[in-house]
Amino acid sequence: MINAYYLYYFSNLLFKLKIPIIPKIVKLFIFLIYNSSIPYQCVIGKGTRFAYGGIGVIIHKDSVIKENVLIGSGVVIGGKEGSVNVPIIGNNVKIATGAKILGDISIGDNVIIGANAVVLKSIPDNAVVAGIPAKIIKYLK
C-alpha cells in the first residue's frame, strides 16, 4: 500500500508550482483512502513516514514537520483554542499511535512521544514523553 506521504509530496509539489485544482483533488483522495487530513499547504520534511500508511492522521495546514519523523496512526498535530500558532516538530521524532500535539509549541530533535500522549508544552531535544498531559519520563543518551 502506498504511504500517504507520497501523495502529500505530490500535492505539495503541485501547490508550490501554483497548479490550482489537482492538490485539492489529491487531498480529497488522501481523505477517502486513509481517512486522514494531510493538507498540501503544511511542511513535511523528507524521510517522514506515516505508520499504516497514515490512517486517521490529522495535521493542521500551518504545521511544520522536519525530516525523518515517524507518525503513528490516529495522530493529531494541530492548534488549540486561544492559540494562533501550531506545532513545529523537529528532526528524528517518533510519534506513537493516538498522540495529540496541540498549540503553539515546538518538539525538539530525537524525541519520542508515547502512545495516546497529549502534548501541550514544548519538549526539549532527546526526551521521551508520555501521559495526559505529556510529561518527560526520561532523556535519551
For residue range 60-73, what is the model confidence (pLDDT) as tens digits?
999 999 999 999 99
CA distances (Å), 123 to each of 28, 33, 37, 42, in order?
32, 32, 24, 21
Q: Rounded CA gap, 133 and 2, in Å?
A: 33
Give me the mean pLDDT over the 83-109 stretch: 95
Strand partners, 119: 101
pLDDT of residue 80: 86
Q: What is the DSSP letter of 41?
A: T
Q: Helices 4-16 & 22-34, crossing angle to 10 degrees?
A: 170
pLDDT of residue 61: 93
Q: Which of 53, 52, 8 is nearest to 29 (CA)?
A: 8
State yes or no: pLDDT of 51 exceeds 80.
Answer: yes
Q: Rounded CA gap, 1 and 108, in Å?
A: 30
Give me the mean pLDDT over the 23-49 stretch: 94
pLDDT of residue 111: 97
Q: Rounded CA gap, 66 and 119, in Å?
A: 17
pLDDT of residue 1: 63
Rounded to 5, what percent of the chain is helix, strand, coil?
Answer: 20, 25, 50
In this prediction, residue 82 has a pLDDT band, given cuts at 50, 70 and 90, of: confident
Whether the model pTM is above 0.85: yes
